[in-house]
Chain A
Amino acid sequence: MAPTSTKKTCFLTVGATASFLPLVSAALTTDFLAALSKHGYSDLIIQYGSVADGKEHFEQSMTETESQRKKSIVNVRGFALDPAGLGAYMREAKGISASKASREKLEEGVVISHAGSGTILDALRLNVPLIVVPNPTLLDNHQLELAEALAEQGYVVHGRLDALVDALEAAEKMRQRSREWPPINSGVHRVVNVGGLAGVMDEEMGFLD
């Protein structure tokens, strides 16, 4: 099959601090790659982290899915960490061209992320569809709470390791009704005319006008 002219990227990130190899495995499965093809994705970029066996694990999963990937139009690549940050990859998933000269047609894809608040916030600001997969092995479950609360409000899709295909379906549907970040906070009656952080700082400083 000839490569399509439109580029659509799925960017998966496991973050820098904790190891989350099961998420890498969940993406590098025959089912998930087939689901990406079905939804017209051309690229899957995986940030697998700098943990000791991250690279090895990624390469092994790549070998296992080699025959499947040859048949598929999805081009898979991976890297451990990027000191320049993940902004460029997020923008690629959003469908923003890196260089103005490029005549490539870009389509908005999706970001799949661990539940780190910084990564979630970056994706929300970019307004790219986001699937958040909390790491079940982390003891501190406030990441799970954050993912649940945001999914409830329709900002993200709460994904599970064993149901990543379903999460992708949900994210494709979410694209049509994605909510913009930051929220306007208009629902907070006290915020009207008082402001958030600046308001509190002014009150404390006695800047009352």
Chain B
Amino acid sequence: MAVMRLALVTLVTIAIGLLTFGGYRLSRMHIIHPGRRKHVRRKRGDKQKPTHLLIVLGSGGHTAEMIAMLFRAITDPDPTKRLDWTNYTHRTWVVSSGDNISAQRAKTFEEKTVRFAEEVITGKTQNDKTRRGTYDICTVPRAREIHQPIHTAPISSLRCMKACYEVLTKRTVEEKDGETGTTTTKVDLPDLILCNGPATATILIFTTILLRLFDFGGADSRGKMRTVYVESWARVKKLSLSGTLLSRVVDRFLVQWPQLEKVNERLEYRGVLV
């Protein structure tokens, strides 16, 4: 834990340094202003436009919970509360290097679970390939490997940050197509980022803050890279370390136990999500 803390403190220091440097961007300071309240985006989104959802799978229990809550959302018996996967024309799944289990779970979710849920709910099979959209799985190096010495943690965190930057700003996605080989699709910056910890997700979120602060590719002015963090269902009375660090940074912060809402005014309880 101490190592992760050190790594994150380093990153926050760098972030603050860049903030000072980027003082001319004062108009965008609201992105990280700690006193800001949670707010619902008011601009009306167009469901017909291409949309890009980015999901971070944090490995182990984090991945299990993320998949569980997405499954619950796409299979909600109430259609008004159900998550429509086809609203997101491209999905980027971010996994840590070496975490093949998470990569496999993302693949299964995209290729089996979503279709299965659709069939069960609507009673018909969706064969329209274009409606299904596209997805890709991106790998970033771990912020810290197990047993990694403490003094190298800031370096590996920076390496992770660089990889996160590349994932967040990628403009093309290559898709392997059974017969025709590889097709390249253009994608815009992620509209929405969904994560539930731990370190890798934290670094990715801090990277979005920097990109939005400098309005990289219109990240802020075009309302891209909105972030949603979901605290683990296993956290009943206290936030996790990632949660504590991100609670005033993300756009929306969901908790799964009502008593956690008292921790600070930005935390929202919308029921159990897993």
Contacts and interface: CB of A to CB of B under 8 A. Distances in A.
Given A142-B236, A204-B251, A198 B73 contact: yes
Interface size class of A (residues with CB under 8 A): 20 to 34
B61 A198 contact: no
A100 B258 CA distance: 43
- Residue from B72, B84, B254, B271 whose CB has the most chain A CB atoms within 10 Å: B271
B143 to A, nearest CB: 19
Contact of A121 (B68, B192, B238, B257): B68
B45 A195 contact: no
A116 to B, nearest CB: 7
A208 B228 contact: no
Interface residues of B, number: 50
A134 to B, nearest CB: 11
A146 B234 contact: yes
Interface string A187-200: 01011011111111
Given A182-B274, A196-B273, A198-B82, A205 B237 contact: no
- Residue from A143, A145, A185, A205 whose CB has the most chain B CB atoms within 10 Å: A205
Interface string B233-274: 111111010000000000110100110000000001111111
Interface string A50-66: 00000000000000000
B257 A149 contact: yes
B121 interface: no
B139 interface: no
Contacts of B228: 200-201, 204
A148 B269 CA distance: 19
Contacts of B268: 200
Contacts of A207: 45, 47, 87
Contacts of A3: none
Contact of A206 (B44, B69, B78, B234): B44
A71 to B, nearest CB: 41
Dominant secondary structure of chain A at its interface with chain B: helix
Contacts of A25: none
Contact of B76 (A121, A142, A145, A195): A195
B41 A204 contact: yes
B80 A201 contact: no
A15 to B, nearest CB: 10
Contacts of A197: 69-70, 72-73, 83, 230, 254, 270, 273
Interface string B32-51: 00000000111111010001
Nearest to B240: A142
Interface string B45-72: 1010001000000000100110011101
Contact of A200 (B70, B254, B257, B274): B254
Interface in A100-133: 116-118, 121
Given A142-B234, A191-B271, A118 B64 contact: yes
A117 B256 CA distance: 13
Contacts of A208: 44-45
Interface of B: 40-45, 47, 51, 61, 64-65, 68-70, 72-73, 76, 78, 80-84, 87, 191-192, 194, 226, 228, 230, 232-238, 240, 251-252, 254, 257-258, 268-274
